[in-house]
Structure 1
Amino acid sequence: MIDRPLGLLGGAFLLWLGLRGLRAGAAPKAAGLAATGVWPTLAATFLLTLANPVTILSFAAIFAGLGLARDAGVSEALQLVSGVFAGSLLWWALLSGGVAAAHRQLPAAFSLWVARGSGAVMIGFGLWALALGLAG
């Protein structure tokens, strides 16, 4: 019942994002770290990520869709949340560390080509979502 409008809306949004990615210019120079230091910046970033509604809703949807929250007690819920937290922390540490280590080795146009490639992929998924939405 709601699948069709969501598919069409999501497909249109992906097309819009993809077109923006294809038209992306060179990335601006990254901002430097403020005088407050690394730890306050880390804490602020952690709290902003934790309070991000998209993060909360996506994990809630995954847990509900997989039935992970159906019969979970306190112990199981703590294990699940701890596992998600540890996995997310490891992923972001590896991703951020890899980018920090490689950013000087990459050519200046690398971010432009990543934006264009990502835009093309999003356009493909947007067209797929629109086709599924129109097919009913």
Structure 2
Amino acid sequence: MKTRFYIFGFLALLAFDTLAQLSFKYAAIHALPLQADLAWLFRVFGMPWIYGAFIGYIGAFFSWMTLLKHAPIGPAFAASHLEILSVMLLSAWLFNEKIGWPQILAAILIVAGVICLACSESEAHPAENDSEGHAVR
């Protein structure tokens, strides 16, 4: 049951974080040229993308706060950075941004870090068994 909660929670966090980052990128592209005047602010807040960013950040905040109440902090913190991968992949597709070897290496290191922290957490808190041999947490 907890595993399903963690999976759903981290997928929600990933989705909200990705929505926020991509929405800011779209808003920035459509708000060009950058000008420090009232007309530019009206142009920014007249686009739906900026509201997608707000929704993404609010959703990410509540997802993160809910996860922090239940998930171990080490793996939770590491997994919260998986949006870097989703934003990178979607930016390559949506904005034709290039993915080079530094980005690929960084993605591998992020995933390896999440896996290492998850494994170390499971070793630090091994599942206890009840009288019938079922795992209990």
TM-score range, shorter chain: 0.3 to 0.5
- Please give the TM-score of this superposition, normalised by the length of structure 2: 0.33
